[in-house]
Every structure is written in C-alpha cells, then in structure tokens.
Amino acid sequence: MESAEAEPSDSRPEEDGAAPRSGLPPPEQPVATMEDCLAKKMEITVSEAEKRTGRNAMNMQETYTAYLIETRAVESQSEGQCAPVDSLWRRYSEFELLRNYLSVTYPHIVVPPLPEKRADFVWHKLSADNMDPDFVERRRIGLENFLLRVASHPVLCQDKIFYSFLTQEGGWKEMVNETGFQLKADSRLKALNATFRVKNPDKRFTELKHYSDELQSVISHLLRVRARVADRLYGVYKVHGNYGRVFSEWSAIEKEMGDGLQSAGHHMDVYAASIDDILEEEEHYADQLKEYLFYAEALRAVCRKHELMQYDLEMAAQDLTSKKQQCEELATGTVRTFSLKGMTSKLFGQETPEQREAKIKVLEEQIQEGEEQLKSKNLEGRDFVKSAWADIERFKEQKNHDLKEALISYAVMQISMCKKGIQVWTNAKECFSKM
C-alpha cells in the first residue's frame, strides 16, 4: 500500500470537480477593478464625533463616542444632479465587529486595521484619555481612512455586510451575527499549536511572518523616538518664550533700544507659541505610521491561517497513512510496529477471517474518504496561497507608496519648521539692527 503525503501548498490552478471550501470564498469570486470599487461609486466620510451616554449589556451607565458616517452616490453628481446624503451613527465597537467579520470571512486578505482604541506612543503634553477631543478627532480621521481602505479593496468592497454597515443603521448587528462568522473563527490556542507542530511550513509565509515582526519593531522604535523628540522640542520652543519676556522687560528701561527689543520679544513669543500647531501636525504623520504598525498584525493573521491549514493538511495525511498501514497489516497478518492491538491478538488469539474482512472493508471506506479529504485540503491550500499572495503583493505596493509619501511629507514639515526658526531669528536680527 502506498503511503499518503501532504502535497506542498502552491499556486497551481485547481482541478475540476474540487470539493467545496468551507470558510473560504470560492476561487471564482469576482475581483473589482479600481473603476468598479465602491470608493469610486460612493463618497464616504466620517464627518463628526459625538459624546453620548447610555446603558451597556450589564445595564450599567457608560459614556462612549458615536461617529457619523455620511455617504453620497458619485454617479448622480457626474450627471449634474445633487445626490442626497445618507447618514447614520456607529460606535467604535461596531467598527470592531465589522473588521472581525472581514478578517474571519476573508482569511487570505490583509484586512485594513482600525485606529487605536486608546492613545499610545504619546509625548507628555498629549492626553492618553480616549475621550480627549484631540484624540477623538484623530480617531475619527482613522475610522474614515479604514472605511476608505475597505471600499477601495478589490474584494472587500463588494461585501454585502460592509455595504449594509454604511447604509443600514437598524438591524445591522443581527445581520452580521446571522452569518455565523464567529463559529469559523480559529482559536488562539489552536493557532499556537499549529505554529509549533507544523512540520513543513511554507518558507514564503515564514519569512513574511518574520518580516511583519521586524516591521512592527522598527515602527514602534520610530514612534518612541518621535515622542521623545517631541517632548524635547516642545521644551526648547517654550523656553524661547523666556527670550520674549526678558526682551520686553529690558525694553522698558531703554529709550533708544526699547522699540527694537520689544519687537524682537514679540517674534520670540510667536515662535514659542508655534510649537503647538507643529506638534499637532506631527501627530497626523505619527498616525500614518501607527496604521502600518497595526497592519503588521494583519499580515501575521494571514500567516497564522496558512499555518493552520498546513497543519490540518499534515494531520489528514498522517491519519491516512496510519489507516493504510492498519489495512495492510490486517490483509497480510503482519504487524510492523508495536501496538496494543498486536499485544491483544497474541494474548487472546487471532481474529477470524470474517472479522478481518469486516475491518478491512471499514478501513477501505475510511481510506477512500481520507484520500478525498486530503485532495480537498490540498486544493484548498493551493487556492489560499494563490489568493493570499496576490493580496500580499497588492499590500506591499500600497505600503511602499504610503510610507514613502508619509516620510517625505514629514521631512518637508521638518524643513519648513527649521525655515520658520531661521525667519524668526532673521526678523530679530533686523530689530536689533534698527536700534
């Protein structure tokens, strides 16, 4: 009898008559072009945030923030008509529910992350309170960005649950729960078990998982450095306010030099106050980096799913090999390995031919079923790898473009900030020259 082997997962096309794939979209699932994406057909904005109070599931009063989502059809505007704006309110927890649904339903996709629920990597003047108005505003921008990311994705943009999230306020949660997506979610323990026990991991996914860890590490370090620099920069700018106070006091005792000193002091006061707007603008670039900090976990989720599928494939192959060996032993009457069954036969006698035939028949049926299951899992693995790697390549292009733009814009902002500093001291020099 031949031993069963788990075929390596690759991106070869599927064979005809493949068994259906549970928990995965069918391979013929349509992929939207950029022109067909929902983001091209509908304007989507999270226009405002509102602080509210209510009662939770435990009937306890709580304070939370609701976000107003506004949508407008683009086609009507192109025809010269003013399309009406549809709007509804969503809580952050509903955004979380949507993302969890997308992650489970589309395990081969790098699902866009949500903005942070509580502020992290903050410098000392920035509030870590999740109800702070500045933080809520940044999170509003982040939630809008999340919706636009999903609406621009060639697969996710076509999901009916996502469309209902944007357009149907009442009954949306019930609609999501009716999909039963929670039952398809893989447990953390199962994922951890697969990580340590899989024998033939795909090298590409192993390297991708390592890359996501490294990406998260370097961005975390970058954000920490930026927070420390912001702290020190804030102090340096505010100390310049002391120049303004001293020049103002000095001008009071000078007649010829008084006007020049007073004007120079004013420039220093303006310089000291400008740091608040500068660091507020910096937070925008920090949030762009944080998005890719959270994207790293989305990459790992795809890798974990592949490990689980590979582990299930190897377990199915191992079980099939074991059954074939049992069938061969029953057919030949020889036991190749030590087993409890072999010891029982020696102690209580051999089975009758009829008993052996019955067991062989059962095993042959199980082997046939196991071979079909193994074939199905191999095809499922190939389909997953093909779909996942296509989306990973799409993500890489997006990441390279976004991070390049963010870093260039941050550098331009720093240059502009330095030029403003030079201009302040140039103005001060002119004030001193006129004394």
CATH number at residue 65: 3.30.1520.10
User: What is the residue whose two structure tokens read 């052996």?
Assistant: 356
C-alpha distances out from residue 413 to 283, 292, 403, Å: 12, 20, 15
Give me 341's structure tokens: 């069954």
Residue 205's φ and ψ, nearest 5 degrees, are -75, -30
Give me 244's structure tokens: 């303004």
Best CA proximity match to 309, nearest among 367, 383, 372, 370: 383
Q: Is 164 exposed, middle or buried (0-12, 13-18, 19+ CB in 10 A)?
A: middle
Residues 6+ apart with CB under 8 A from 247: 261, 262, 264, 265, 268
DSSP conformation letters of 246-263: HHHHHHTT-SSSHHHHHH
Give me 165's structure tokens: 């999230």
| Same domain flag for 209 and 96 | no
| Same domain flag for 146 and 283 | no
Residue at which a domain ends, from 137, 164, 194: 194
Q: Return the beta strands (E) in 185-344 as ranges.
A: none
Is the residue at 7 inside a domain?
A: no
| Same domain flag for 180 and 207 | no
pLDDT of residue 149: 96
pLDDT of residue 161: 95
Best CA proximity match to 164, nearest among 352, 38, 282: 38
| Same domain flag for 276 and 374 | yes
Q: Give the span between the Cα atoms of 330 and 341, in whole angstroms.
A: 11
| Same domain flag for 145 and 69 | yes
Tell whether pTM > 0.85.
no
Best CA proximity match to 428, nearest among 274, 266, 275, 258: 266
Domain carrying residue 123: 36-74+83-194
pLDDT of residue 94: 94
**Three-state DSSP class for residue 22:** coil
**Three-state DSSP class for residue 383:** helix
- Written as one letter, the residue type at 85 is V
Residue at which a domain ends, from 163, 194, 225: 194
- For the chain, residues with pLDDT lower than 50 are 1-5, 11-28, 347-348
* Domain count of the fold of the chain: 2
CA diameter of the chain: 123
Best CA proximity match to 392, nearest among 303, 304, 305, 307: 303
**Three-state DSSP class for residue 312:** helix
| Same domain flag for 226 and 293 | yes
Q: Give the span between the Cα atoms of 302 and 5, in whole angstroms.
A: 24
| Same domain flag for 184 and 210 | no
Q: Give the span between the Cα atoms of 88 and 146, in whole angstroms.
A: 17
Query: Which strands, in side-by-side order, build the sheet including 61-73?
Result: 42-55, 61-73, 86-91
Residue at which a domain ends, from 156, 174, 194: 194
